[in-house]
Amino acid sequence: MELMPRQVTDYLNELVPPRPPRLRAMEEQAAESGFPIIGPAAGQFCYLIARLSGARRIFELGSGYGYSTAWFARAVQEAGGGEVHHVVWDEALSREARANLTELGCADVVRFQVGEAVAALEASEGGFDLIFNDIDKHAYPDSLSVIERKLRPGGVLLIDNMLWSGRIFDAADHSPNTEGVREFTRRITHDPAWSCSLVPIRDGLILARRN
């Protein structure tokens, strides 16, 4: 279900500044294959939040072929350099991401890892400025405690698909992914460790501060 009128979605995407041909090609690839990338309006929002917060150490859970990573990598480069962790359990996607980010001139700040993303975050040093979560939705609730430990106080969490194409409003939908989005939302909005807001760009992003 499209929650936002198509006219508004198109308008938000049109307002995104011109971007490199490779990033546009990645958008076309998603449109053709149906691979779920965050898209231009959410990408620009993520980039802006990273720039505004001055993030230089970013961890991305559930990366794809490098689209969302590219927005974060650009922000980190502009902030003077740092690291963006790209983690996906699919080796072919990781290889594709490396090629895309190399072409975009961003690979120098990206660290590629193949594996389960929450376990990779758990094993990391932590102290991240920003964490972006886009893993399978049923795994969202269990990821929160790990994120809380690995994000520095005052750090930023961005988590995608918090409107889940409207399935969260369907009282008959108790699928694990839908319940995962509902439960994650309930936990983070009731936990004094977090201040957050749901931004209804594309499929809904929660923007949260770790207090």
Ligand X SMILES: C[S@@+](CC[C@H](N)C(=O)[O-])C[C@H]1O[C@@H](n2cnc3c(N)ncnc32)[C@H](O)[C@@H]1O
Site stretch for ligand X (CB under 6 A), options 56-64, 78-86, 144-152, 201-209: 56-64
Task: Tell me how far, at minimum, the Cβ of 197 lies from ligand X, in Å.
Answer: 20
β-pair partners for 199? 205
Q: Please count the residues of the chain.
A: 211
Torsion sign over Cα 163, 39, 155, 90:
positive
Task: Tell me how far, at minimum, the Cβ of 26 lies from ligand X, in Å.
Answer: 8
Comparison of 115 and 154: residue with beta carbon closer to ligand X: 115
53 neighbors 130 (Cβ within 8 angstroms): yes
Closest CA to 42 of 79, 65, 68, 11: 68
Does residue 64 touch ligand X according to CB under 6 A?
yes
Instruction: Give the relative orientation of helices 6-14 and 39-53 as an angle to the nearest 10 degrees.
Output: 50
Task: Tell me how far, at minimum, the Cβ of 192 lies from ligand X, in Å.
Answer: 27
Q: Quote the tokens at residue 164.
A: 């889940």
Does residue 62 touch ligand X according to CB under 6 A?
yes
CA distance 175 to 154: 33
Task: Tell me how far, at minimum, the Cβ of 164 lies from ligand X, in Å.
Answer: 12
> Which 8-state DSSP code applies to residue 137?
G
Comparison of 144 and 153: residue with beta carbon closer to ligand X: 144
Does residue 63 touch ligand X according to CB under 6 A?
yes
Selected binder of ligand X within 4, 79, 89, 199 (CB under 6 A): 89
Site stretch for ligand X (CB under 6 A), options 6-14, 31-39, 78-86, 202-210: 31-39
Task: Tell me how far, at minimum, the Cβ of 161 lies from ligand X, in Å.
Answer: 8
Binding residues among 36-55 for ligand X as defined by CB under 6 A: 36-38
Residues 6+ apart with CB under 8 A from 123: none
CB atoms within 10 A of CB 81: 10
59 neighbors 76 (Cβ within 8 angstroms): no
Binding residues among 108-167 for ligand X as defined by CB under 6 A: 116-118, 134-136, 139
- List interacting residues with ligand X (CB under 6 A): 36-38, 62-64, 67-68, 87-90, 93, 116-118, 134-136, 139
